[in-house]
Amino acid sequence: MFRFALRRSAWAIPTLFLVTFLVYIALRMGTDPLASYMRSNPRATRSKIAQYKELNGLGSNFVTGYFSWLQNFVTFNWPRSIKGSREVWPELKDALANSARLGAAATTVGVSIGLTIGIFAALRPGGKRDVAVNTVAFVGISIPPYISSILLQLLFAVYWSKWFGSTLFPTSGVYPPGQDGFNLVLMLKHMALPTVVVAIQIIAVYSRYMRSSLLDVLNSDYMRTARSKGLSEFRVLMRHGVRNALIPVITIAALDIGAIVGGLIITENIFDYPGTGKYFLSAFANGDFPLLMPLMVIIVGSVLLFNLIADLSYAILDPRIRLD
Amino acid sequence: MPFLIRGSDLTEIVIPTFTPRQLAWKRFIGHKAAVVCSIVLVLLALAVILSPLTARYGVNESVKAPPNSYLSPSKLAWLGTDDIGRDLYSRLIYGTRVSLLIGLCSAFISVFVGCVVGAIAGFRGGRFDDVIMRVTDLFLAFPFLVALLVVRNMFGSVDWLTFIIGDMSSLRFIIFLLSFFGWMGVARIVRGQVLALKEREFIEAARAAGASRSYIIKRHLLPNSIGPIMVALTFSVVGAISGEATLSFFGYGPQPGAGATSLGLLVGQAKGAVQTGFWWIALFPCLILVLISLCINFIGDALRDATDPRLDATK
């Protein structure tokens, strides 16, 4: 087990380099940093451009360019953003913190609701509750986040205030304009709608996972054994049913992190929420290579990390799986 | 009276037998929601194909002389008009046409490539299989929009590629881009199916009879995976349609030119209409998009149930 973990982790490191190299090439080709630099500094002299090129290793081929970028990146000597020449890290840090807050809230709400209704659906397959949960999950999957955002905005930004005369949930930003300092209630109110949008996706997906996984478990022999030992039905369900059903769900959850981040990116943009999604799209629109690359490294890193966690969690949680 | 069976009785008993295809059809018909969804989709497709008859105005035509912008739904314009007085109902028909075209083309390409790659990976195994599956794992785990945008710009910067597939705003480019991501999910499904099938006796028999690898894949493995492939096809259509919509929503979609539109572009306009309170511009494109993906999802799910041989065949 330990050797398996070690081998998998060891593999993740070359993969990280390979993938960041590919992303580096894709970004260098797609959002040419030199062209962006010249676009946002139209009066830059030729020597200034040459200096910028030299400093960021843009003149050479992709391989040496990558290594000079990597050296700067690892030594935390990050180039400033092309547009506005701002420091990258403070901005990225804020965006990450905001996204993490939203992501954590949505995941907590989504997973707890999703798992609960998944369990209820699995208890009586084919029953009324099951059909209802399935239908709701289907509708949830079929509504892309930008559409639920638009519909919620329409309801709360326009019609709520028209019908009831006051705004219940604001539809953009983290705080109203002019607000200084920390205010939990205001923050929660601003987070409510984006959280709902992302949570809808999570609920739809997880209720289905949980339902099918629990259905598999409920038919197994150890459930009958547990019942015949005289355990209460609730204990049988929670201790023997749900605990075992969670194993594949956790594995899928770890692999699903990309989908959640993707949902966040879309949602943040619509609600004007200052997280990584806004950061990414505005940097992408400006072709701002120095802003994009660190974010990409973080995304690639977390995708690999969660892949690793998925592999390991499966082996750790299910004692029936033996690895060399 | 003792219970006796005479030989002549046995000839009376007719056991109904069905081919797998008939069974699948019967199960599919039994799935009411899927049947309703199929009918809705067929009607929608007809409305879209017959757009010269069903659309009331041209794609760029105003419903009447100005002032004609932002008219609420009325007899003149059933679903209202947009910012420059064009009929939203007609534009929805034209837009759905473009979106369905993108969805179908890209789904067929994805399924074709996915079948070839998945079958070869599953059948040959080894290094090729490892590499392909690692790559697809990674791409599938990546946030879709980020991957889509980065790869889009990369493709757009390669001259010989844009010479073949058009520049970044053409329909061909979008179809190619969506197919580039679409085949991976299909390949994974086909690979799993091939892995399960290739150890079966009939494949062994074919091999013993001297069938070549490509013959076995074409004549035995793929036809026996037709159920999951059909399911993958339906989900690919949804994936491509919503992929196009996502790209268009953020302004990176196709620009079909001359006022032509797509569902994604219409939903993108909806974003701007929300704050101003022109609810019809926001609501109807969203509803159509949700309706299409809901219907296709239901059909795909029913197909999966219908073609899964592990399910009870008598029901």
A15-40 confidence digits (pLDDT tens) = 889 889 999 988 888 887 878 887 77
Count of C-beta atoms within a 10 Å radius of residue B50: 11
How far is it, in rounded angstroms, from Cα B123 to Cα B117? 10
Domain membership flag for residue B125:
yes
CATH code, B296: 1.10.3720.10
Distance from the Cα of B178 to chain A's closest Cα (Å) equals 16
Is B294 close to A258, i.e. CB distance below 8 A?
Answer: no
Tokens of A91: 């901005």
How much is the pLDDT for A179?
67
Domain membership flag for residue B8:
no
Give the pLDDT confidence of B66-125 residue by residue, as tens digits. Answer: 777 777 777 777 787 877 778 889 889 999 999 999 999 999 999 999 999 999 999 888
Q: Tokens 């943009």 — which residue?
A: A269
- How far is CA B161 from its chain centroid? 25
* ipTM of this complex prediction, to 2 decimal places: 0.84
Is B267 close to A259, i.e. CB distance below 8 A?
Answer: no
Distance from the Cα of A229 to chain B's closest Cα (Å) equals 32
- Indicate the pTM of the whole model: 0.86
Tokens of B43: 């009607």
Domain membership flag for residue B294:
yes
Give the pLDDT confidence of A39-85 residue by residue, as tens digits. Answer: 777 777 788 788 777 777 777 788 888 888 888 888 888 888 887 77
Per DSSP, helices labelled H in B82-200 are: 88-124, 126-141, 144-157, 159-165, 171-197
Domain count, chain B: 1
Domain membership flag for residue B18:
no
Q: Do residues B306 and B24 make contact, with C-beta atoms less than 8 angstroms apart?
A: yes
Count of C-beta atoms within a 10 Å radius of residue A67: 14
Here the contacts of A278-287 (C-beta below 8 Å, separation 24 or greater) are A278/A95, A279/A91, A279/A92, A279/A95, A280/B146, A281/B250, A283/A81, A284/A31, A284/B149, A284/B150, A286/A36, A286/A40, A286/A82, A286/A83, A287/A31, A287/A32, A287/A33, A287/A35, A287/A36, A287/A39, A287/A82
HSE (side-chain half, CA atoms, 13 Å) at B3: 0
3-state SS, A53-104, equals HHHCCCCCCHHHHHHHHHHHHHCCCCCCCCCCCCCHHHHHHHHHHHHHHHHH
What number is the average pLDDT over the span B19-40? 87
Is A144 close to B293, i.e. CB distance below 8 A?
Answer: yes
Residue in A19, A142, A299 nearest the CB of B146 = A299
Domain membership flag for residue B35:
yes
How much is the pLDDT for B37?
92
How far is it, in rounded angstroms, from Cα A153 to Cα A173? 13
Q: How many CB pairs under 8 A join A and B?
A: 112
Residue in B145, B150, B249 nearest the CB of A262 = B145
At what angle are helices A184-218 and A243-255 packed, to 10 degrees? 120
Is the confidence at residue B177, as pLDDT, over 90?
Answer: yes
Q: Do residues A286 and A84 make contact, with C-beta atoms less than 8 angstroms apart?
A: no
Residue of A nearest to B276 (CA): A158
Which domain covers residue B303, as residue numbers?
23-313
Residue in B153, B274, B294 nearest the CB of A142 = B294
Which residues of chain B lie closer than 8 angstroms to A284, CB-CB?
A: 149-150
Is A142 close to B246, i.e. CB distance below 8 A?
Answer: no
HSE (side-chain half, CA atoms, 13 Å) at A146: 30
